[in-house]
Each structure stands twice: as C-alpha cells, then as structure tokens.
Amino acid sequence: MTIGVLFVCTGNICRSPMATGVFRTLARRAGMVDAFTIDSAGTYDGHAGAPASLLAIEAARRRGYDIGDHRARVLTNEDLAKFDLPLAMDLTHLAAMRWMAPRDRQDRPTLLMKFAPEVGIEEISDPYGGPARGYEEALNLIEAACIGLLAGFQSEFKAARSG
C-alpha cells in the first residue's frame, strides 16, 4: 500500500507540477519512491491538458527535476477521497480542497509550507505570468517543504520498522 500525496495549485501548470517533480525526485534518491503515489491537480480548469509552463519546466530542469511530461488536470472530489495527503500551495487552494473534500476528510488538506516551518512563510506565491525569478523563488520554497515532508515520512517509517 502506498501513501497518496497530491500537490494542488491553481492551474496545475507551475507550482504543483514543480512540487510533484521535486518530491518524486527526493523520494527516488532516498529509495522511497515506491512508498508513494504522487500526483498534482489544479483548482482552475482553464489549463486542463496543457503542459507545465515553460518557465516552470526550465526552473525545474536546472535543478535536476524533470516535469516535461506533465499535463494539467483539474482537482476532483475523488482526488480528495483517494489521496492521503492533499497539499495546497496557498490558502485559496486549501479552502477549495476543504470545501470539496468528503466530510470525513475535510481536515486532511493542509498547506505544503507546513513542512518547512523554519522558513516562516505560509503560502507559495503564484509565479505564473511573472519573471523567471518568481519561479525560482517558488521552487526554493517547494524544495524546503518537500525536504521537510520527506524527512517526516522517513522518521515515521523508521519508527514503524523499530516497532
């Protein structure tokens, strides 16, 4: 059985595909990728089927993350019933996910930045339409949070193996 991790942003063409690429790569490097089902979605349907934005692909590639095969999709109620850990990039995504989630899962969606409390930032700003620097800044936050997220899972797995 795998742990379902779902990254959610607005159009599913910038932040959430970058987060998926980062977390998948970190999990692979840690030898844990098979422990997870990793995906992403967006709360807005206007980009469904589109690839990640070129600036997101380039920023990710420069750091060793491949998101070139990504295609945007819309968040569904079924996603929120299926995934164990739906992670929002900002408070609007969090509100949408909690509203859409089945009643018994409304407390599951959380902000991705919760896993990098040392950064002191709650939300990851949307870089779409802005300069390349915005994608790099978003990726800095995503990396910090994904490192913290994976470290938490590593601790849980280690504790479970220890008994």
Tell me the catalytic residues: 9, 15, 126
Spatial strand order in the sheet of 3-9:
36-42, 3-9, 85-88, 110-111
Of 20, 17, 8, residue with least CA distance to 123: 8
Give the chain's end-to-end CA distance (angstroms, integer).
19
* Residues 85/108, Cβ–Cβ less than 8 Å: yes
